[in-house]
Amino acid sequence: MVNQYWRECEWSSTGNGFTEWVIEISDKPGVEEPEPAFKYIGNMHGDEPVGRELLIRLANWICDNYLKDPLATLIVDNVHLHILPSMNPDGFSLGRRGNANNIDLNRDFPDQFFPRNDDIDSRQPETRAIMNWLRKIQFTASASLHGGALVANYPWDGTEDKRRIYYRCPDDDTFRFMASTYSRSHRNMSLSTEFPGGITNGASWYPIYGGMQDWNYIHAGCFELTLEISDNKWPNADELSTLWEYNKMSLLNLIASVVKMGVHGRIFSSDRGRPLPGSIMIKGINYTIKAGRLFADYHRLLTPAKGYEVVASVSGYKSKTTGILLGEAGMSLDFILDPEGTPVENLRTTCDCSYCGMSKLENLWGFHLEFYYIILIVILAFLCFLFIRRMGFYFLNHRQSPKRSFQA
């Protein structure tokens, strides 16, 4: 039964020849659907293995509880979930932070402020694998699991001048909400005395450059968090069950948030009804996401309980803007866009009215006839009014006239 809903994919090989495996969980594994995709990545740093263990437990729990638990069922039926338990098996086998080349993978991605070499072939094999992965699959959101602290971290991770300050990205409110979703569901993360609410802006904590979460947001349209899930990087094996219970609902609720929050829909053309893989923008937020290539589906994460103006645009079509009032739950909103510059001749050929093919004189004469009909109707209505009024006076006078008396 479980095998119907998950599969293991041989994903990539590391410098030392380890195979990286991704667990895919869906009601239709291997099939693209018009639904949001989410990914978890663990063990990016080889000496932070707790995420590796918890993600394996997460995959087992979801599959074991499908059709038994409503949250597991919601995830399988509505989210295309991918889980990479270990991004850095080389570092894990060596017991160190870096990979086989002793490179910190969370400093190896292209950076927005201090670019080094944007040639993908010059990067580490694990970094290249992630970048190629996101070219194939359009993820809505994701999270990377780390250890050494207890906090949910969100962009930006760095600053333009390398100062340690709060540095907001365009979707700061949404990221704060997502980070709080994880923190509040955790046993004690939100009770942190170091990080108010158990969340932090990355640059406010300590700036880093070449990080994976900023690259996801900038280049892949993916809202990624960096989750520090254990103060102790190498806890005893008998502590894993406790760490799992502390993080279980947080891991599940963060996945479910890509369905439960924001606005979701598809973009179609009005002329043929075909899907249009265009883009979605929110007025006032300087960030654009792309609709899916196959179904033209979009999944725009937004902070609940606010009003937004959603703009859909596709090259060659007229953009359309719709105002929404987003509640606590997510909502659906499809767009149907009209082609730009439709010729007048085309309008005439698709016209279904009785005036098509008439000359200007015929149209003018038809206008005059309509005008005369209106005058005639007004006159008839006035005559009816006079007639009713006259009859009313007649009956009133008749009822008020004195009765004659008759004598026997």
Q: Which pair of tokens denotes residue 395?
A: 């009956």
For the question of residue 24 being annotated catalytic, the response is no
Note every long-range contact of 314-322, with CB atoms under 8 Å and residues 24 or more positions apart, other chains counting. 314/267, 314/269, 314/276, 314/277, 314/278, 314/279, 315/278, 316/340, 317/269, 317/276, 317/278, 321/283
Catalytic-role residue among 24, 35, 48, 228: 228
**CA angle in degrees (0–180, nearest 5) for 117-43-99:** 45
| Amino acid at the residue 242 | T
Picking from 298, 237, 229, 306, the residue whose alpha carbon sits closest to that of residue 268 is 298
Picking from 227, 182, 183, the residue whose alpha carbon sits closest to that of residue 44 is 227
Picking from 139, 23, 22, the residue whose alpha carbon sits closest to that of residue 79 is 139
Task: Describe the crossing of helices 240-260 and 70-78 by its angle, rounded to 10 degrees.
Answer: 50
Cβ-based burial of 41 (10 A; exposed 0-12, middle 13-18, buried ≥19): buried
Question: Which of the residues are catalytic?
Answer: 228
